[in-house]
Homo-oligomer: A and B are copies of this chain.
Amino acid sequence: MSVLVVGSIALDSVETPFGKADHVLGGSGTFFSASASHLTPVQLVGVVGNDYPLDQLQPLAKRGVDLAGVEQADGPSFRWRGRYRHDLNSAETLETHLGVFSHFAPKIPAQFREAPFVFLANIDPRLQLQVLDQVEKPTLVACDTMNFWIESRRPELLELFAKVDMVLLNDGEARQLTEKTNLVHAAKWILERGPKYVIIKKGEHGAFMFSADSVFYAPAYPLENIFDPTGAGDSFAGGFIGYLARTGDLGEANMRRAVIYGSAMGSFAVEQFSIGRLLDVTRDDIDRRVREFRQLVSFETELAEQGA
């Protein structure tokens, strides 16, 4: 089944302790699409300026990302410049130029409106709500957000939460939004506002998936070489939602597997700048990493498994 994603399509300039890259493909919609397209067809909606190297999106198109919803507007593309120092968990933003993204009003092409899976990447919650008005009863809607919207669009964000099935956000955002230090309390707070699932991403410390009656935890893969953390969260979302869309199974066991696929895709994303690694990873690589995750956490109890 296909996934519709609405998000940013940017040009990133990134400096890490290991090198730098200028004006490379970035943005939540781009990372999500590059990741999810390994698992399922993707429909991307976003806006770029007339300076955008559209030809560089062609590898995505070849892998099943439908770019019919990528609008090219008059003006400069969204550009972000950031730096990571030793703490690869937090980016220092040096420059943000919204360009044509500041007037973005998502228009969902008619042929995308029945997408069964919808991911509302990190954009203004008012736009995320506008997308929901344009789609027909999806099987699952998930959204991401960020500190800026938590501060400036809190009522709209909570209105959105009441309409989605799942919220993905990082630990700092969860604490900021809920004003709760403890992540279990933060997750409960969010679940009480509508979503059936909350995924709290902790960067190099893994991710939790909470529902009303279960909690699942997946570590981040202990990589020897983390090159550039940009896009890890959106690549996680792409692997996660992509796997759900591919299997069409929203049962607990499959949701857990999907989190591991998300973690695997996040772990590939950080191995190179931009979507470099996501473009050349193979389905075998992905399956191998999923098995490595199992090796990483698996243990057998000597106790009878009497329905813990």
Binding site for B on A (CB under 8 A): 86, 88, 181-185, 202, 205-206, 208, 214-219, 222-226, 253, 256-257, 259-260, 287-288, 290-292, 294-303, 305-306, 308
A105 CB to nearest chain B CB (Å): 40
A226: chain B residues at CB < 8 Å are 182
A86: chain B residues at CB < 8 Å are 181
Q: Which of B206, B290, B303 contacts A290 (CB 8 A)?
A: B303
In chain B, what residue has the closest Cβ to A295?
B308
> A257 with B183: in contact, given A292-B308, A296-B217 (CB under 8 Å)?
no
Q: Is A253 touching B299 in the complex (CB atoms < 8 A)? A: yes
Q: Is A257 touching B217 in the complex (CB atoms < 8 A)? A: no
In chain B, what residue has the closest Cβ to A259?
B299
A256 CB to nearest chain B CB (Å): 4
CA distance A183 to B89 in the complex (A): 14
A178 CB to nearest chain B CB (Å): 14
Q: Is A184 touching B294 in the complex (CB atoms < 8 A)? A: no
A92 CB to nearest chain B CB (Å): 16
A222: chain B residues at CB < 8 Å are 183-184, 208, 215, 217
Q: Is A185 touching B303 in the complex (CB atoms < 8 A)? A: no
> A301 with B294: in contact, given A181-B86, A215-B222, A224-B184 (CB under 8 Å)?
yes
Q: Which of B215, B219, B290 contacts A301 (CB 8 A)?
A: B290
CA distance A260 to B291 in the complex (A): 20
Q: Is A294 touching B299 in the complex (CB atoms < 8 A)? A: yes
Q: Which of B183, B205, B287, B308 contacts A291 (CB 8 A)?
A: B308
User: Can you identify 20 A-B contacts, CB atoms within 8 angstroms?
Assistant: A88-B181, A182-B224, A182-B226, A183-B222, A185-B224, A205-B205, A208-B222, A214-B295, A216-B299, A217-B296, A218-B299, A256-B298, A256-B299, A257-B299, A257-B300, A257-B301, A259-B299, A291-B306, A295-B308, A297-B297
Q: Is B224 touching A302 in the complex (CB atoms < 8 A)? A: no
A298: chain B residues at CB < 8 Å are 256, 297-298
A259: chain B residues at CB < 8 Å are 299
A223: chain B residues at CB < 8 Å are 182, 184
In chain B, what residue has the closest Cβ to A87?
B181
